[in-house]
Amino acid sequence: MTEIESDVMGTAVRDWVRGVSRVAVFTGAGISTDSGIPDYRGPNGVWTRNPEAAEAFTYQRFMADPAVRARFWRAYLGHAAWRAVPNRAHLAFAELERAGLSVRVLTQNVDGLHQKAGSSPRKVLELHGTIHEVMCTTCGARSPTAGTLARVEAGDEDPACLDCGGVLKLATVLFGENLRFETIAQAEKIARACQLMLAVGSSLQVEPAASLCRVAVESGAQLVIVNHQPTPYDRLATEVVREPIGVAVPAIVAELIG
């Protein structure tokens, strides 16, 4: 495993881009920080600065405590994700798809920025769901998030399902909540089929999503990690790139397109 920190990265990556036509892109919160959405575990992350904030993202507490739900919904009223636009890294991966490579995006993010950047929605697998829909935990009804947030803004601190009165939550996976079996099975299939996995902006600490890196490597793919901080999977990587994501990703994509 080699770490790349200088501006000669474009020269160094050529060995592992040669002949690659099937790419799996695994992205975490770090890819969206340049879009103004704070990450969670970085030096200035939401949970680094305020560990108690994670409480509202725990499924058990969210379901049991109306006060936790009220805090959760208030936090999302003015969330940066609603104003965010795709950055250079999101746009680069969309360009990679348009160039004709077989690209699948496996994202831990719930912001929808890959799709906004132009990646085909059917080629983006949102491992942890999306903030753009809410779902009822009782009847399963789904609806656009905007309507629920409008109710919160109007004074409904803990909006209930309009169909059955059940607890509403964002259509995201909270801590203590299992990923759908179908989702992780599809992600593993993609990881096994790729020649190159690019893991970008993820601490690779949240399982089982992070283990997709191991699945890819054990299936013969090369793993390249682009992240400022060390991750538990660095030792499996062909390269670890410490350059800023907005610099590194466009350079890697340019090499892949050739």
Residues of each domain in the chain carrying CATH 3.30.1600.10: 39-83+132-172
d(CA 198, CA 56): 30
> What digits encode the pLDDT tens for the residues 73-105?
998 998 999 999 999 999 999 999 999 999 999
What is residue 106's predicted lDDT score, i.e. its pLDDT?
A: 98
For the chain, percent of residues with pLDDT exceeding 90: 80
Q: Residue 2 half-sphere exposure, CB side, CA atoms within 13 Å? A: 10
Q: Active-site residue 90, yes or no?
A: no
Amino acid at 230: P
Instruction: Tell which CATH architecture fits domain 39-83+132-172.
Output: 2-Layer Sandwich (3.30)
Domain with CATH 3.40.50.1220 in the chain: 1-37+85-128+178-258
**Given this model, what pLDDT does residue 6 score?**
39
Helix, strand or coil, per DSSP, at residue 63: helix
- Class of CATH domain 1-37+85-128+178-258: alpha beta
pLDDT of 50 higher than 70: no
Mean pLDDT of 133-142: 98
- Provide the 10 A C-beta neighbour count for residue 111: 24
Marked catalytic residue, from 79, 90, 114, 128: 128
Q: What is the mean pLDDT of residues 117-130?
A: 97
What is the arithmetic mean of pLDDT over 128-133? 96
pLDDT at 203: 93
How large is the average pLDDT for residues 239-250? 95
Match 């725990």 to its residue by tokens: 58
User: Of how many residues is the chain composed?
Assistant: 258
Q: Look over the chain and give the mean of its residue pLDDT values, rounded to a whole number.
A: 90
Residue with tokens 């983006």: 124
